[in-house]
């Protein structure tokens, strides 16, 4: 019989057979393929997530830009509305000035936010809230402007009414003043005194003080002038100023400054020279006589008519004339009859 190949003591038993190497390799390859597929799957998934993130980011940026543009447009609209209100012709006060400053500050803060390059959602939301608040402030500002315009209109109407009332009052006042002035003029004119009964006498005053009336121009060394001030019921009692003008025979006024002569104005606006000014203590409604002497520095009275004019209150109130003669002396011894 054929011999069988049995293990023997001398020939120990061999280990059991190993699995084929081809199966292990297949397992490893399969695992690698699965890992590779998983890696590619992860890469594809991650890329998709990245694309989605970028798309979302782009969308957020686009939305932010769009929101920023919208907010800019809203801010420009609010600014234009505010600028239109500032041109209103109203009288500003402290309240509206404070509101204007607050609006300007808020507008500057909003503009600063919108000028940022990478503006956040929170900043956009803040800008949106501030623009809404700005519009509320501008609405309040408009209400104040409208209120001031209404007040200005009312003031204009009241001013016109007051002006009309003032004009009427001024017209009435002017009329009253005119009437008063007319009455004052009448009283003023009526209170002007009147002089009468002129008496002008040449006086020869001797060295011993004795006086003698004379018409001889050569002997006259002073003129004694007297006249009456007639009764006047309008003129009040008190001091009245009279200007006496003496004219020499050549028609020229006698004026000696050293003796108190000067000038005065008449009611016609003329300037006249006066010889002497006299202050009279006049009593209302009473006739009284005024008398004074005019003595020149030298006894140089000329032959002819001496005219006297008296003025009061700018009016001539009376006049008188005296004539000084030439002295005629006939020496009897010179006549033929006595020779």
Of how many residues is the chain composed? 339
Architecture of domain 195-324: Sandwich (2.60)
Number of H-type helices and E-type strands within the chain: 3, 10
Residue 297 has pLDDT above 80, yes or no: no
Contact 308, 244 (CB under 8 A): yes
Residue 127 has pLDDT above 60, yes or no: yes
Q: Show the CA angle centred on residue 239, arms to residues 238 and 241, nearest 5°.
A: 145
Say what the pLDDT of residue 10 is. 52
Domain boundaries, the chain: 25-190, 195-324
Say what the pLDDT of residue 225 is. 97
Average pLDDT over residues 78-98: 71
- CA nearest to 294, candidates 188, 233, 234, 222: 222
Distance of CA 301 to the CA centre of its chain: 67
Say what the pLDDT of residue 298 is. 67
Q: Is 246 exposed, middle or buried (0-12, 13-18, 19+ CB in 10 A)?
A: buried
Work out whether the CA dihedral 247, 253, 254, 260 comes out positive or negative: positive
Q: What is the mean pLDDT of the chain?
A: 83
pLDDT band at 245 (very low <50, low <70, confident <90, very high): very high
Residue 212 has pLDDT above 80, yes or no: yes
What is the C-alpha separation between 292 and 277, in angstroms, rounded? Answer: 11
Pairing of strands 304-312, 238-247: antiparallel
Residue 22 has pLDDT above 70, yes or no: no
pLDDT band at 19 (very low <50, low <70, confident <90, very high): low
């Amino acid at each position: 019989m054929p011999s069988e190949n049995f293990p023997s003591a001398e020939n120990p038993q061999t280990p059991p057979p190993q699995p084929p190497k081809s199966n292990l390799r297949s397992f490893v390859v399969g695992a690698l393929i699965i890992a590779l597929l998983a890696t590619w799957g992860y890469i594809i998934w991650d890329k998709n997530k990245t694309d989605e993130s970028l798309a979302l980011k782009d969308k957020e940026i686009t939305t932010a830009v769009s929101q920023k543009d919208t907010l800019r447009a809203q801010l420009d609209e609010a600014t234009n509305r505010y600028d239109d209100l500032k041109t209103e012709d109203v009288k500003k006060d402290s309240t509206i000035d404070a509101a204007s400053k607050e609006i300007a500050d808020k507008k500057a803060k909003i503009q600063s936010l919108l000028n940022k390059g990478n503006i956040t959602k929170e900043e956009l939301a803040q800008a949106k809230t501030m623009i809404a608040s700005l519009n509320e402030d501008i609405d309040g500002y408009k209400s104040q402007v409208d209120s001031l315009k209404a007040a200005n209109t009312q003031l204009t109407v009241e001013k016109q009414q007051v002006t009309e009332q003032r004009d009427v009052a001024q017209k009435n006042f002017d009329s009253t003043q005119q009437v008063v002035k007319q009455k004052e003029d009448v009283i003023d004119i009526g209170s002007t005194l009147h002089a009468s009964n002129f008496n002008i006498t040449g006086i020869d005053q001797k060295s011993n003080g004795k006086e003698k009336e004379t018409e001889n121009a050569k002997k006259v060394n002073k003129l004694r002038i007297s006249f009456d001030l007639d009764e006047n019921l309008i003129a009040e009692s008190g001091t009245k100023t009279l200007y006496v003008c003496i004219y020499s025979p050549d028609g020229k006024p006698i004026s000696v400054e050293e003796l108190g002569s000067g000038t005065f104005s008449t009611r016609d606006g003329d300037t006249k020279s006066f010889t002497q000014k006299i202050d009279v203590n006049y009593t209302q409604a009473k006739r009284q006589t005024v008398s004074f002497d005019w003595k020149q520095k030298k006894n140089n009275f000329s032959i002819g008519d001496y005219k006297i004019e008296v003025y009061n209150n700018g009016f001539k109130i009376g006049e008188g004339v005296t004539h000084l003669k030439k002295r005629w002396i006939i020496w009897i011894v010179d006549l033929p009859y006595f020779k």
